[in-house]
Amino acid sequence: MDEVYRMHRRVRDRTRIRAEDYLEIRYWATTLRCTESTLRAAIAVVGTGSDGVRTYLELAGVRVV
């Protein structure tokens, strides 16, 4: 949990997911409760907007919190 907290503090813009930043991908995968590969696939389809990715994952049947 401590690592996720540190990643949370590191994410500056919560409206965008920076796909080139490994730690940010780990943060979002943990936050959205999906795998990193699923997150990257969602980003490839809908772009880097966090709301769009969240909606896409919900529609795809991934349990998003």
pLDDT tens for the chain, 65 residues long, are: 556 555 555 666 788 998 898 888 998 999 899 999 999 999 999 999 999 999 999 998 876 66
Q: What is the pLDDT of residue 25?
A: 92
The whole-number pLDDT of residue 37 equals 94
What's the pLDDT score for residue 14? 81
For the chain, domain boundaries? 2-59
> Looking at residue 8, what is its pLDDT?
56
Give 50: exposed, middle or buried? Use CB within 10 Å, 0-12, 13-18, 19+: middle
Tell whether pTM > 0.85: no
